[in-house]
Amino acid sequence: MSTFSQCAGSNDTSTPDMGLRIASIFIAFIASFFGAGFPVFARSSSWIKMPGYVYDFAKYFGSGVIISTALVHLLADGVEGLSSECLSDAWSGYPWAITICMASVFMIFVMELVAMRWGMSKLKKLGIYPDLVHSHGLRAHPTHGPFSDLAAVSDKPDDAAGESNARDPESQTTPPAAHHDQRVQQLIGVAVLEFGLIFHSVFVGLTLAVTDNFTVLLVVIIFHQIFEGLGLGARLSTLQLSDNYKTIPLTGAVLYALSIAIGIAAGLGVRETYNPESATASIVSGVVNSFSAGVLLYTGLVELLAQEFLFDQEMSRASNGKLAYALVCVLLGAALMSLVGNWA
């Protein structure tokens, strides 16, 4: 088939497996929600007893999945889309996909930096993040917000606080303000991760809806969404929120599951007119995939690997065995997701 005929599209709009394609909306939703929702329910439920090492597996395995998704799935697809023969020489003469990915990394970094500073400023105004909470007997009395459960930290009398510091040397070097920093940073990091995965899932669903090799791709994408969901769900479940905001993790799992369902539904709606080989489709897909690759790459390396391995106090004091277990889980997640990239 010539390049022109590929870019012009095909007149064959028959869809013999339309019933299965419609059912895939619900199948993909359930698979995605299971992956993202199971860690959330397991963490909060009293009747689901999941051993700690299993939960750690899901968390670290998910980190490897996210990084592999960024490079093997998204960036590779972005390079392919923006290198299509349907595009003009202006696109093929420059590595646009790599550049967009790099710009996305810097954009997310700046956005997170601004969000952190703005968030700290708002917490100070609410009295939740006092600069001098650990000196001169100053007190913070937060009455609302996702971090209001930290109020008790600074409500101790000076004598009680002194006794606590004497019994717990770590409390002398970790003021309450530091815990606020960690929680805000964690919340922003999970929000960035969710943003990147939702973008990615919408286009995965769109691709699934319009592909001819539907059955094989559906099976692969089910595993793809479960693996990604485990990584997201493990992070959602670790968010430390007050009772008024306990629904945030579940909401995040639902949004992740809905994104691929929306992508499939949209793809089925435009299937008869949408040509994935067209110039417009290649540009849109290439730009969005490259942008999402930067989001997930930043999240995977900075928010997940760096935070979990380099800056986490618990991991710094962990045994060599636990560290090795965590590293193997990360590498296994990256390897399996890279293998899935052979088909999706």
Question: DSSP per residue over 121-132, as a string?
Answer: HHHHHTTSS-TT
CA 232 from chain centre, in angstroms, equals: 5
Q: How many Cβ atoms sit within 10 Å of the Cβ of residue 113?
A: 11
Q: Which residue has the tokens 């968390």?
A: 59
Q: How far apart are CA 217 and CA 171, in angstroms?
A: 52
Q: How far apart are CA 255 and CA 197, in angstroms?
A: 10
CB distance 214 to 17 below 8 Å = yes
Alpha helices in 45-157 (DSSP H): 52-68, 76-81, 89-92, 96-125
Q: What is the per-residue pLDDT across 237-255, written as a single tens digit (0 to 9) for each?
A: 888 777 777 888 999 999 9
Tokens of 71: 């490079």
pLDDT at 102: 96
Q: How far apart are CA 64 and CA 340, in angstroms?
A: 13
Q: Could you tell me which of 226, 325, 253 has the C-alpha nearest to residue 44?
A: 253
Q: How far apart are CA 35 and CA 235, in angstroms?
A: 12
**Whole-prediction pTM:** 0.71
Q: How far apart are CA 72 and CA 74, in angstroms?
A: 6
pLDDT by residue, tens only, the chain of 344 residues: 444 445 655 545 555 678 888 999 999 999 999 999 988 888 777 777 777 778 788 889 988 988 998 999 889 989 988 988 888 888 878 899 999 999 999 998 998 888 778 767 766 666 554 443 333 333 334 444 444 444 444 444 444 444 444 444 444 444 555 555 566 777 777 888 888 888 888 888 888 887 777 888 888 889 889 988 888 888 888 887 777 778 889 999 999 999 999 999 998 888 777 777 788 888 888 898 899 899 889 988 988 888 889 888 888 888 999 999 999 999 999 999 898 877 76
pLDDT at 181: 59
CB distance 248 to 146 below 8 Å = yes
Tokens of 136: 């001169």
Residue type, 64: G
Tokens of 176: 């309450």
